[in-house]
Structure 1
Amino acid sequence: MMPRIFLSASVPRPDRGNFHETADPFLIQFAVRELMTVALGRRQIVWGGHPAITPMIWAICSDLGVTYSAAVHLFQSRFFSASFPEENDNFSNLTVVDAVEGDREASLARMREQMLTGPFHAAVFIGGMEGVLDEYELFTRMHPDALVLPIFAPGGAAQDLAKKLGMTDDRVDFACLFSEKLGISQTEPRNQV
């Protein structure tokens, strides 16, 4: 089994707190793309479906020609089924977790618990809002020995988290950053199966 990396990422919205004030949507997209370019097919990427992130990951899987069912694992809460991105249909490795009737937060907590079960090598946090902070807390509780990598430059909740952890490396050469911090050589072959 390929080592697993948890990705927690989103583009902050102005109607949800002040995370958007430091967020750079272009750098969020660029960082996610660079993480996928470095890690896809070399590590399994696990993430909770987000309407801004899932289509991006699908496009990158297609661009790189990586067999995505082995390379990624998408989780969604049935609570959001009315707004699932159409790209969800392209992922064969999709787990839809039952909702807690009428309770958004409890539905997200249930999905996150299931999503973060099992071994993880690392977690990468990019942009985001309160969900990034919630996922950081849960991930570090469930995987205290795993590497945690909040990306500072794109802003959002991940920048707040990086500051809190004293990780203020603001480089934007994300491919080098991910390769170095996650220990993934850019010449490592991609698993095509």
Structure 2
Amino acid sequence: MSQKIEKVLNNNVVLAFNESDQEMVVMGRGIAFQKHPGDEIEEDKIEKTFVPEGQDVMEHLLSLYRDIDPDILEVATNVIKYAQGVLRARLSNHIYLTLPDHLSYAISRAKEGLDIKSPLTWEIKRFYKIEHEIGLKALELVEKNLNIQLPETEAAAIALHIVNARQDEQDLQVTIKMTEMVQDILNIVSYYYGTTFNED
């Protein structure tokens, strides 16, 4: 059954209704190019669909996808696809809100010459090596597609969003606290036994 566009958010994102008459987000490169509400969605262009949970999430999504540069949204989507390929796992749909929002904010700070340090960069490199590598790849994609160089500390921040999306979207602060706690435990054990751990 063909789906019709309810609302165009940008060239790559539209709102539609699924078979259960729930409002859903449909994503795909150029899916809404020169399209209008009521037009049919070309099925071969659909890359991702999801139903936002709750009206507040839908409102945040509408605001986000209306206000953020479509090029940033595209980079964020490509990072998510890359992460899912590397991890061989699906990430929570919520990352389609949190990662574009984070990248947009990070890019704004970079343009203003502000560099906010992440206090957990070292810990994230140690405990979440694969996610940190994905974060580094994200920085490459930002530079290649948006011609903006983000500081390497941003790789750790992006990695945290990915870790969070794998943890069934627990609160990001919980993930941060958990990382800090593991580091503290390792420090205690290392000090007590007077030994240095093999980082690998």
Q: TM-score, normalised by structure 1?
A: 0.23
Normalized per residue, the structure richer in helix is 2
Normalized per residue, the structure richer in strand is 1
- Larger RCO of the pair (alpha carbons < 8 Å, separation 6+): 1
Q: TM-score, normalised by structure 2?
A: 0.22
